[in-house]
Amino acid sequence: MTRRTWALAQLNEKHGYLAGNYAPVEEETPLTPCMVVSGSIPNELAGGQYVRNGGNPMANDDAGRESHWFDGDGMLSGVLFQRRANGSIAPHFVNRYVVTDILLATRQGAHRPILPSIATLSSPSVSLLRVLYEVMRSLVLCLLTWIPLTWSIGLGKGTRRLSKISVANTNIFYHDGKALAACESGPPMRIMLPKLETGGWWTGDEGKSWASGIGPLKIFNEMTTAHPHTDTSTNELLLYHSTFVAPYLRISVIPPRSSRRSALIGATVPGMKEGKLMHDFAATKTRTVVMDLPLTLDPRNLLSGKPVVHYEPTAAVRFGVFPRREPEKVRWYEDPTACCIYHTANCWDESQAETSQSGSSEDAVNFLACRLNSATLIYSAGNTLAPTTAKAPNGEEERCELHYWRFAEPPKATELLPPLDSTALEKAPKAQHDSPARITHSFPLSRVPFEFPTINLAHAPAAGLGPNRFVYGCSMREGTFDAGMGRHSAKIDCLVKMDVQSLVKRGRARADAGKMKKGEAVDMRSMPEIIASAEHAQDGAVQGDITVFPLPHGWYAQETTFIPRSNPQGEDDGFLLFFCFDELTHLHPATGEPLPSAVSQLWVLDARDMKTVVARIELPARVPYGLHGKWFTEAEIDGQERVDEQSIRRWALRDVQKSDRRSKEERIKREGKLNVLNALRRWVELWA
């Protein structure tokens, strides 16, 4: 028995992220009317569109292949709130694949994806030969698309060559008249709202491209974060580019075309020694925060018998802080305890004037992120047994918590010395130009599981890059985002609202007084305790710093997006939009698989009271549990930059052939006149 067979036998069940409502859908849906089953649609949604991205593997016939939740071709699912002449709002659902090079190359009946799975690259049970085989298979399939004699079965007209390896399955965002779908393995892809058509790759505007170079070098330079940030005061787009090739980490700052500001393109962040798996970063009005986590992404790991994606439990976590346009001035802050961070929540500056009242005098950056005390997620999301080294240390429980760090800047030399004519000069401490960067505070805000954070990006003074009072996130009644994955997969049945400024203030006061133990949370209550306290509270009673919306039994949610009211009376005066699925109704009771009639809903929740479901909209299709989404306003949809009709990538899902191995063999025999290269490509698709 091979190591891989043994590992699969240990799980002894179907891949948790290809089953139930994680299973991919097999149909695209054009804009189709939806039914409002309860409540009414707020006027704030009129003319806008909510769109969510996620992996939906096209080549899914081989159920025994390695697969990971982060794999899969990007599929966008959206709800457009059309205005009617009579003033009413008509919701319409649409879902479409992001038509990437990979999707076009895969669609001719291949029974498994072109690219190797993250599960293959991360599992310690997969042999070196297997990894090399998967990589070589992908290279052969990619190279064959560059040979004209293979185009009869390759990519469509105008996009014959597979030049980008991104599947654009992680997120969707907006910049300067463009909606863009993205994942880390390539550049963003233009998406045309509201029909969700694919408009072509985007690597920056003319003279502002970060994707220089040729061949493989260009592919590495094109890699771009799927979690950019926007400074709404300048409309600058903040990006980073992380690869496993030196210099490993670069950043870009791209202003809108109407701005006179210059672009910063692909500037190196010094201090990285190897490729790391960094999924997100953070920014304030003046500074940027990047992360050097102990989760490596480096093919050279294979030379030492480790997987390409490997967790180092004894390595420290480093945070790099630098002025937005000066990455060469990066200052690294070290946290000795290993962890994983996939999503940041909020980040803001703190000036000397603000800190002097508390007795200190220093500039600082405050940082909130979802901290996992293990790397189990990477393995369990691939249906792979996590090695002991990837689990929580010292027998601790697996945790995913909203965590706070404070990065203090070292004092400047001139700040430590009294005036030259002062008699205190001789007694003054000598200036230390190389004073170490200090993390003055580090603690979790709560013990409840917390992931997929979202904030009110429109709230002033935050405006997307400042201190928000409230952070919303996803949670669960039992388990956590690490321990709950793998065999049973993670399912979100609670939404959480935290008053983070209050929790941070409480935590800092306790820490400064020496009353907080290492690892202790500001609020130590469990999820059941918080829910119970809310149930016993009288109407109108203050709920404290943490409010929970538990979904009805059997219902599960996805990431939320905040939409403010037209005339908000506070930061939390708005709505949360999210997709929901009723597993008790729409999954087969025996197999757990989706019924043919399975559909999802879009819920609109009052973000202030976290209890009132303002509207429930039934969709004409099922939306698998996915990743990240965004709300696009009517003005953004109307203000999109036009795309030449010839540039829109078109394909027909109904043309995809999902035939079995025998039919593929017969097809090859019928096409006996195929040249040798065509036959080679078909053989690789068939047997690899």
Please give the biggest Cα pair distance in the chain: 98
Q: What confidence score (pLDDT) does residue 264 get?
A: 95
Q: What confidence score (pLDDT) does residue 126 get?
A: 85
611-622 pLDDT, tens digit per residue, is 999 999 999 999
Our CA angle for 5, 9, 13, nearest 5°, is 125
pLDDT at 653 over 60: no
Q: Of 144-148, 221-225, 265-269, 683-687, which range is least confident?
A: 683-687
Which residues neighbour 228 within 8 Å (Cβ) at sequence distance 6 or greater? Answer: 173, 175, 182, 237, 238, 239
pLDDT at 382 over 90: no
- If you write DSSP's letter for every residue of 644-660 in order, what string do you get? -GGGSB---GGG-----
Q: What confidence score (pLDDT) does residue 480 get?
A: 79
Using 50, 70 and 90 to split pLDDT, how confident is the model at 669?
very low
Q: What confidence score (pLDDT) does residue 2 get?
A: 45
Q: Of 366-370, 406-410, 570-574, 649-653, which range is least confident?
A: 649-653
Q: Of 99-108, 121-130, 356-365, which range is least confident?
A: 356-365
Give the residue extent of every domain in the chain: 3-411+436-642
486-507 pLDDT, tens digit per residue, is 445 679 999 999 999 999 999 9
Q: Of 21-25, 266-270, 379-383, 651-655, which range is least confident?
A: 651-655
C-alpha closest to that of 236 among 364, 324, 170: 324
pLDDT at 454 over 70: yes
Q: Of 307-316, 447-456, 656-665, which range is least confident?
A: 656-665
- What pTM did the predictor assign? 0.88
Q: What confidence score (pLDDT) does residue 395 get?
A: 85
Can you tell me the distance from the alpha carbon of 497 to that of 473, in angstroms, rounded to the nearest whole number? 7
Strand-pairing partners, residue 408, are 364, 438
Question: Greater confidence, 485 or 47?
Answer: 47
Strand-pairing partners, residue 310, are 296
Can you tell me the distance from the alpha carbon of 624 to that of 634, in angstroms, rounded to the nearest whole number? 26
Fill in the amino acid letter for 160. Answer: R
Contact 543, 534 (CB under 8 A): yes
For the record, the structure tokens of 165 come out as: 């390896």
Can you tell me the distance from the alpha carbon of 198 to that of 592, in angstroms, rounded to the nearest whole number? 33
Token pair 């690259």: residue: 121
Which residues neighbour 537 within 8 Å (Cβ) at sequence distance 6 or greater? Answer: 543
C-alpha closest to that of 558 among 499, 489, 631, 495: 495
pLDDT at 672 over 70: no
Max avg pLDDT among 210-224, 423-437, 618-632 = 618-632
Mean pLDDT along residues 457-465: 74
Question: Greater confidence, 138 or 613?
Answer: 613
Q: What confidence score (pLDDT) does residue 504 get?
A: 98
Q: What confidence score (pLDDT) does residue 109 get?
A: 58
Q: Which residue stretches of 461-499 are H helix?
A: none
Mean pLDDT along residues 249-255: 95
173-205 pLDDT, tens digit per residue, is 999 999 999 999 999 999 999 999 999 999 887
pLDDT at 384 over 90: no
- Using a pLDDT cut of 90, give the percent of the chain over it: 59
The CB-side HSE value for 257 (13 A sphere, CA atoms) comes to 10
Q: What confidence score (pLDDT) does residue 156 get?
A: 42
Using 50, 70 and 90 to split pLDDT, how confident is the model at 541?
very low
Q: Which contiguous run of DSSP H or E holds residue 120?
A: helix 118-122
Can you tell me the distance from the alpha carbon of 293 to that of 315, in angstroms, rounded to the nearest whole number? 8
C-alpha closest to that of 180 among 100, 118, 91: 100
Using 50, 70 and 90 to split pLDDT, how confident is the model at 558?
very high
For the record, the structure tokens of 619 come out as: 């969709």
For the record, the structure tokens of 8 come out as: 């699969």
User: What is the crossing angle of helices 676-687 and 128-144, to 10°?
Assistant: 140
Task: Calculate the alpha carbon distances from 631 to 46, 49, 53, 523 in Å.
Answer: 12, 6, 12, 31
Which residues neighbour 165 within 8 Å (Cβ) at sequence distance 6 or greater? Answer: 101, 102, 115, 142, 185, 186, 219
Mean pLDDT along residues 325-351: 96
Which residues neighbour 452 within 8 Å (Cβ) at sequence distance 6 or greater? Answer: 343, 370, 473, 474, 492, 559, 560, 628
- Chain centre distance of CA 537: 36
Task: Tell me what the pLDDT averaged over the chain comes to.
Answer: 85
Our CA angle for 225, 226, 232, nearest 5°, is 90
Mean pLDDT along residues 268-280: 95
575-590 pLDDT, tens digit per residue, is 999 999 999 999 999 9
How does DSSP classify residue 279? -
Sheet with 229-231, strands from edge to edge, namely 229-231, 236-242, 249-254, 264-268
C-alpha closest to that of 6 among 124, 169, 162: 124
Which residues neighbour 230 within 8 Å (Cβ) at sequence distance 6 or greater? Answer: 173, 174, 175, 236, 237, 238, 464
Any known ligand binding at 227?
Answer: yes
pLDDT at 153 over 50: no
Our CA angle for 612, 495, 541, nearest 5°, is 55
Using 50, 70 and 90 to split pLDDT, how confident is the model at 15?
confident
User: CA torsion angle for 606, 608, 611, 613 (degrees, to 10)?
Assistant: 0
For the record, the structure tokens of 38 come out as: 């309860």
Contact 343, 451 (CB under 8 A): yes
Mean pLDDT along residues 442-471: 89
